[in-house]
Structure 1
Amino acid sequence: MHTSDRLSQDDFTYRLSGPDGYEKKCFSDLFPDYHPLDRTGIISPCLEDGILHAPSVILGLTTAFYDHLRALSEDFFNYPQHFAFIGGRHDKVNTGSGPMVLERDQIGEAWGSLDVWPGTNWIIHPARSENMLDQIYRYQINRIFWPASLRPDNVQEKLPPLVDRFLRNRLKSVWYYNPDDADVEILLSDTASHFVQESIDQLPPTIALDINASSGEPAGLVENRFRMVDPCEFLDDMGSCFNSG
């Protein structure tokens, strides 16, 4: 429970695009139907993608989860049901530096710093739209954070229509992260940004060095951008991943 007593919603600034530009919002404005038992999936085609471009929303949801537990008791042990679906195959994991053979702890330490834990919540799977949708279905995910750049391409194994039907009924929200047409911004305090930097530093050395050596702050360290999309619209966009029913 890395962040359980160190972050509050005061560490997050939520902004939603409106007619007059971005307007400050609160957590409940963006997640009006939040429940501590929500099952959240972060799709990360490369090991570091979600860590760089979606840590603010991961930590925001994690803080809401711990806020709920703190309201019930001062003594608790639990983690939110957050799952990292990481691109890879067999013994190799995709990274921005190319495929790497990594031990289990090397894969998950960075995600664990964002309280995506235990190791059963780090799922390695081919970074194709249809494969990731299949995992979302199998793990009964109801909130998705999906990279805007991951689109269906030459679908190899179409999913049965029942998967589409289940997802249309189960999904509560879908956000694309790092899009060109963002409508949500989340800014982190210095305290919250520290956890992101700690997560980056836990990545395999060659990846962390590349990120930390880049000009300015690492992408997503202070501010992340997203686009909210209706779950049915998202599934329509992914329509080529499904067999017609």
Structure 2
Amino acid sequence: MMNLDDVSPLITLARTTTPFGEITIFRNRETGAVAYCHGDHYQSEADPAGISLAAYVHALHALVVQTQAHEVLMIGCAGGTLATMLAATGQAVTVVDIDPEAIRLARQYFALPPGVECHASEGQVFLERSPHQFDAIVVDAFAGDSVPANLRSPVFFRLARERLVPGGCLFFNMFVAHDLDADADRVAALMAEAGFTVRLLDSPGRTERNVIVMGGAVTGLTSPGILLRPTISADDIVTELAQMRFRSARRRAARADEPASKG
């Protein structure tokens, strides 16, 4: 019998089951890219140096750098590519993930630097217990293709605002299915209710895409470009970044307190 690893371009480097699901780490034998898969969902992909191959991660990186933030909190780790990139451009990064195994795998396979401070904790609990204020907070935490409900609640957004310095920024990664999917606009409405000035960075017309909802001192931010060029797929990332557009929250979105749906 032939092992699938013998015929597939993907080599399985690690597979582990945690209380939060199964994590598999793959490497592409042709390109050297490393991927982090949680259940059926790919959550990170990077070149051998840990530089992301996802355009939205490069967008987040460039936006945070534009704010001139020094101390950055990231809620959600997976492969930790954004943390690796921020550390490379001089930011002091704290990573929080509910699954300690994610942090271990990010360090082992994705070049997450030892200088990045990591905590195994649920994101909201960490903010509740730590009085520290950050220049920027990035939320990129998923259960499947959705952000956990407590991390997109009015309570969480008020707490996040308290944990930001004056002039600080909150960046929130969302996944939407298509242009009529209002989930990102619901999150934007909740952030606005918590007192944030809100903008969205979106790629209209694309299906199954990431949308960055940002709040705080974000009105002066300009279109993000690539700051750290990966050794794989860099031109594709540049093309995707050029397709991203800032927009306001859509008024036609359903009320913020209505349940989100995909369809």
Is the TM value for this pair above 0.5?
Answer: no
Q: Which has the higher strand share?
A: 2
Which structure exhibits the higher relative contact order, with contacts defined as CA atoms closer than 8 Å and separated by 6 or more residues?
1
Query: Comparing both structures, which one devotes a greater share of its residues to helix?
Result: 1
